[in-house]
Amino acid sequence: MTLTIVSLLPSLQNTNGDAENAAVLAARARWAGLDVRVVPVERADELPARVDAVVLGSGSDASLPAARERLLELLDELRRWGTEGVPILAVGTGWELLSWGIERADGSTIEGLGIVAGRAVARDGRVAGDLVVRAGGGLGVLVGFENHARDYVGAEGSPLGRVQAGSGNGRGAGQEGLRMGDVIGTHLHGPVLAKNPRLADAILERMCARAGLDYVPGKQAAVVDGYAEAARAAQLRAAGVATAAPA
């Protein structure tokens, strides 16, 4: 069996390299001896017959209308994936587009697809910097970089985790991201799965469980995870977080 990871709209939603999280999942799956492929999907007619996981990265505000129109073509599939337990990782504006909607600083709004609860609302100034999150569900501490001009409200009942350093969802909530079933939304930009292998493995475990396969990280994963832990330790020090459980 070949596992299929879909990278949605990589031409529009990859400003911070978020789409490359699909490549991280594929690499770890191959190290575990699994057959896997990454399929870039720009439009509905490019969807493969089988989808085992979905990665949707972040784009610029200028690309929001075009990205929304393309995602609308996939609305039925996104709803089905969300209810059938297909893991979906959505970052930044990709996450915002799956929400109830986006309120921009100029007063205009963009209707979201309504896949997850909550909405993005304009904040007073952009936040950019290290983001450290203590996540639930055995994920430990997640690290990354946030860069957004909107807060996120309405995810209070289902956050990805608690903020240890940075802003996260903002509005004084002390929370970051959203997790609804196997759909994860986050402000953690860039190759978040490379820096946080425990999160990558959790997604892979879910993918394999749905496919009736076992997932056991390969030997190469242990080598690479050592590099990831060194990078994580440096970022934790820079963010002023003294200690954290490995992830």
Query: What residues make up the domain containing 196?
Result: 2-239
pLDDT value of residue 228:
93
Please pick, among 187, 189, 195, 198, the residue that the annotation labels catalytic: 189
State yes or no: is 148 an active-site residue: no
Provide the CB-side half-sphere exposure for 229 (13 A, CA): 13
Counting as low any pLDDT under 70, the low residues of the chain are 243-247
- Is 36 inside any structural domain? yes
Question: Has residue 179 been placed in a domain?
Answer: yes
pLDDT at 243: 56
Angstrom distance (rounded) from CA 183 to CA 14: 19
C-alpha separations of 96 from 16, 155, 197 in Å:
15, 12, 24
Rounded distance between C-alpha atoms, residue 129 and residue 137, angstroms = 25
Distance (Å, rounded) from C-alpha 157 to C-alpha 147? 23
Written as six digits, the tokens of 184 are 């994860």
Residue 245 lies in a domain: no
Would you say residue 109 lies in a domain? yes
Is residue 42 a part of any domain in this protein?
yes
Q: Is residue 246 part of a domain?
A: no
Confirm or deny that 232 is annotated as ligand binding.
Answer: no
For the chain, how big is the Rg over CA atoms in Å?
17
The side-by-side arrangement of strands in the sheet containing 178-180 is: 35-41, 2-8, 53-56, 88-91, 183-186, 178-180
Residue 114, domain member (yes or no): yes
Total domains in the chain come to 1
Q: Which two tokens stand for residue 43?
A: 């439009």
- Secondary structure in 3-state letters for 45-95: HHCCCCCCEEEECCCCHHHHHHHHHHHHCCHHHHHHHHHHCCCEEEECHHH
In sequence order, what are the residues at sequence separation of 6 or more whose Cβ sits closer than 8 angstroms to the Cβ of residue 169? 151, 152, 153, 155, 159, 175, 176, 177, 187
Both tokens of 14, joined, read 């990859």
Inside any domain, residue 43: yes
CATH number for the domain including 235? Answer: 3.40.50.880
Whether the Cβ atoms of residue 247 and residue 198 lie closer than 8 Å to each other: yes
Question: For residue 246, what pLDDT is reported?
Answer: 46
- Nearest residue to 88 (alpha-carbon basis) of 7, 10, 198, 24: 7
Strands (E), the chain: 2-8, 35-41, 53-56, 88-91, 101-103, 109-111, 119-135, 140-153, 161-165, 175-176, 178-180, 183-186
Give the model's pLDDT for residue 136. Answer: 87
Q: pLDDT tens for residues 170-199?
A: 998 899 999 999 999 999 998 899 999 999
